[in-house]
Amino acid sequence: MRSTTARGTAGTAIGGRAATAAATATAGAAGGGLLLFLSFPPRGWWWLAPVAFVVIGAAWRGRGARAGAGLGMVTGVAFFVPLLSWTGEFVGPVPWLALATLQALFVALAGAAVGALPDRWWWPVGAAAVWVAAEAPRGRVPFDGFPWGRTGFSQPEGVFTPVAALGGVALLGFVVALTGFALPGLARAVLRADTRLPAAAVLLVPIVITVVAPVVAVTTPPGTASVVVAAVQGNVPRAGLDFNAQRRTVLDNHARRTEKLAADVAAGRVPRPDLVLWPENSADVDPLRSPDARAAVDRAVRAIGVPVLVGAVLNPPDGPPTNTMVAWSPESGPGEIHDKRRLQPFGEYMPYKDFFRLFSPLVDRSSDFVPGSGDGVVPMAGVAVGIATCYEVIFDDLVRDSVRSGAQMLAVPSNNATFGRTGMTYQQLAIDRVRSVEFGRSTVVPTTSGVSAVILPDGTVRSGTAMFEPAALVERVPLRSDLTPALRYGAVAEWVLVATAVLAVAGAVLRRQRR
């Protein structure tokens, strides 16, 4: 009887320890996701990102594939639900939570793969590669992907930022994750006073990359060609889905603010720009079909006397609408155009409309735009401007294509009015800043309602606006034609990391099968 009682007591103790360990791992997985969220704007505590991976690594490491998948899902939900809360501001909780859950599934896959890795000295490298490998398909599927929230986008400033110029967003995210995953190994080595531990040496990898990056990255030398650019923020009558409910108001606001800029130039209060950028959707009436709208744009462009990039929704009589940026000349009117190439699903077009109508009646308010083609480069005033219209800037291939095609600067005309004063506009501005560093280009961000900004090639914000206030930014920015290592090899770096992750996981699986 005593023996049976002892076994029962021991079993209860073991079960209690297991339950405690599971609860601790779950709490760590959730805490790591929340810390990663806090590293993103509008807080922008970039240094929390590696701390997040310390916590995530402690929660996932050695748990096995099944437990790792569950813990990964916890991390993904804790990260994406608050990060993407701006999507639910005006469309309701169901689409927001559905999107967050879908994105969390990719983190669950990462958790399963990381949990399956053997607990060896190289574990941090394999885990960081797996993390980046899980971000890769998230930027491609479904519906062309949604790479918002990639780890590298949390680093528009800080010690890791120059890594973007070395190997793109993928390498930047890898270095951040590897730093966090490797720190506990260093701590164990220090506590044991054992410098032979190879786990401590793993931390040298992100340290070396971070130190080398600013040296290898292309800098802007003195005497570089430059251009004076103006970004006009005309403001909208209201925030939300009905930002342009008052017909012609948005266009009139931008025309009026441009005419005021012309008056400031004439009075000598600001320098004369070489070109002016308006935001996406700044012409809320098709200026190619409406004589009144065209006259309003013409007056503003002639007043400032230089080419203006005008954002318009074009509605041709014999085809579907396009989200278009038009280079408007003061002499000849509309000229070169850029039709948005990668459209936002559920906003600019609606896939499987009958099915998604079951979840939200707002699907019927989506547009039916068609995507454009080309390389995104529009010549203005002798400058090759690479255009990534709002949502397009989150996709590596689109921005890379424009710079490879000769873009000397980048423009990200945006309309963030739908999302009001949420963190969305600040998260996008961080992406714009990382792109500037990645490709070594000045980036000008005109938005309808803010935050508009002028960003230098090192990611520094030269000037910016407040939200929902008319404004015009006028700055001289360098023009660059040289190519960063990230432009040459960034795509290769991502695929090398993906291959590393695949080999690490495949090796772990084969090893388990042999055993």
Catalytic residues: 280, 340, 390
Q: Give the gyration radius of the chain's Cα atoms.
A: 25
Q: C-alpha distances in angstroms, 310 versus 240, 244, 317, 344, 385?
A: 22, 16, 20, 20, 13
Amino acid at 159: V
Counting DSSP H helices and E strands in the chain, the numbers are 15, 12
DSSP per-residue codes, 216-242: HS----TT--EEEEEEEE---SSSSTT
Name residue, tokens 């979840």: 359
Between helices 163-192 and 485-514, what is the axis angle to 10°?
A: 40
- For residues 227 and 235, the answer to whether their CB atoms sit within 8 Å is no
Alpha-carbon distance 346 to 351, whole Å?
7
What are the tokens at 136? Answer: 């890769």
Neighbours of 373 (CB within 10 A): 7
Residue among 251, 253, 248, 273 nearest 262 (CA) = 273
Name residue, tokens 């639910």: 88
